[in-house]
Chains A and B, each alone.
Chain A
Amino acid sequence: MNNRNKLFISIYFSAIVLILINSTCIQGITSDWKVGDYYLMSSSDSTENHIKDLVNNIDYFVNSALKFDYQHNITSVDNISKLIYYDSQVLGSITPQIRSYDPEWFIVNRLSVNNLLNSYYNWDYNLNQSVLTSFDFSFTPLIFIEANWTSINNHFTSAVLNESNIIYSLDDPYNPSLKHNFTFGDLLHNATSFSIMGVENNLEEAKQKFTVENHQWIFEFDLTDYLKNSIYNSTSGLFDYLPFDSYKIQTECEYTEGGVLKYYLNRIQYSHTFNNRQYTTITEKILSLGGLPETEESNYAYLLILPAVFFLAISSRIIEKRKR
Chain B
Amino acid sequence: MNKNAKILVVSNFIFLLLLFSNFSSSLGAIPSWHAGDVIDFGQTSLLRVTYYEGNATSYQIMETNTDFKVNITAVDILNKEYRASIIQPLSVSSILTYDFNYEILTDSFLNIANIFDVDYVWDFEHNTTVLKDFSLGASYVLLLEPEWDEINKIMKNSLNESTIIDTVDDPFQPITYNFTLGYFLNNITSYKIMDKTDLVKAKEEFRPTATKWSLEFDLSGIIHYATYNSTLGYDLFKPIDKYLITYELEYDKGGILNYYQKTIDTSTDYEILPQDLLLDDKIILGGLKAFTSNFALITIFPAFLFISIFVVRKRRKNTR
Partner of A66, one of B54, B60, B299: B60
Report chain B residues within 8 Å CB of A313.
Answer: 307
Whether B300 lies near A312 (C-beta < 8 A) is yes
Residue tally, chain A, CB below 8 Å to B = 35
B259 is an interface residue with CB less than 8 A from chain A? no
A312 and B61 contact, Cβ closer than 8 Å, known pairs A70-B56, A92-B273, A304-B296: no
Report chain A residues within 8 Å CB of B51.
Answer: 91
Interface string of B27-64 (1 = CB under 8 A from A): 00000000000001000000000010111111111111
CB of B149 to closest CB in A, whole Å = 35
A63 is an interface residue with CB less than 8 A from chain B? yes
B244 is an interface residue with CB less than 8 A from chain A? no
Stretch at the interface among A20-28, A52-60, A111-119, A217-225: A52-60
Cα distance A277–B67 in the bound complex, in angstroms: 14
A69 and B56 contact, Cβ closer than 8 Å, known pairs A59-B65, A61-B64: yes
A308 and B296 contact, Cβ closer than 8 Å, known pairs A40-B56, A51-B90: yes
Whether A309 lies near B89 (C-beta < 8 A) is no
Which residue from chain B places its CB closest to the CB of A59 in the assembled complex? Answer: B67
A320 is an interface residue with CB less than 8 A from chain B? yes
A231 is an interface residue with CB less than 8 A from chain B? no
Report chain A residues within 8 Å CB of B63.
Answer: 61-64
Whether A316 lies near B311 (C-beta < 8 A) is yes
Cα distance A201–B51 in the bound complex, in angstroms: 44
Residue picked from A40, A89, A304, most chain B C-beta under 10 Å: A304
B69 is an interface residue with CB less than 8 A from chain A? yes
A305 is an interface residue with CB less than 8 A from chain B? yes
Report chain A residues within 8 Å CB of B65.
Answer: 59-63
Whether B58 lies near A52 (C-beta < 8 A) is no
Partner of B58, one of A51, A67, A312, A316: A67
Within B283-319, the residues touching A (CB, 8 Å) are 287-288, 292, 295-296, 299-300, 303-304, 307-308, 311
Within A273-315, the residues touching B (CB, 8 Å) are 277, 291, 301, 304-305, 308-309, 311-313
Which residue from chain A places its CB closest to the CB of B61 in the assembled complex? Answer: A65
Whether B67 lies near A60 (C-beta < 8 A) is yes
Whether B87 lies near A316 (C-beta < 8 A) is no
Within B57-85, the residues touching A (CB, 8 Å) are 57-69
Within A162-180, the residues touching B (CB, 8 Å) are none
Whether A64 lies near B62 (C-beta < 8 A) is yes
Report chain B residues within 8 Å CB of A232.
Answer: none
A60 and B299 contact, Cβ closer than 8 Å, known pairs A67-B58, A69-B58: no
Whether B58 lies near A61 (C-beta < 8 A) is no
Whether B89 lies near A71 (C-beta < 8 A) is no
Cα distance A60–B51 in the bound complex, in angstroms: 28
**A/B interface sample: 12 pairs, CB < 8 A:** A53-B90, A59-B89, A60-B88, A63-B62, A65-B60, A67-B58, A69-B56, A90-B58, A304-B295, A304-B299, A311-B300, A312-B303
- Besides A62-B63, A305-B300, 13 new A-B residue pairs in contact (Cβ under 8 A), listed by A number: A53-B89, A58-B68, A60-B88, A61-B63, A64-B62, A64-B63, A67-B57, A67-B58, A69-B57, A90-B56, A91-B58, A304-B299, A316-B307
Return the 7 tightest CB-CB contacts between A and B, nearest first.
Answer: A69-B56, A58-B67, A53-B89, A60-B89, A308-B300, A61-B65, A65-B61
Chain A residues in the interface with B (C-beta under 8 A): 40, 51-53, 56, 58-71, 89-92, 277, 291, 301, 304-305, 308-309, 311-313, 316, 320
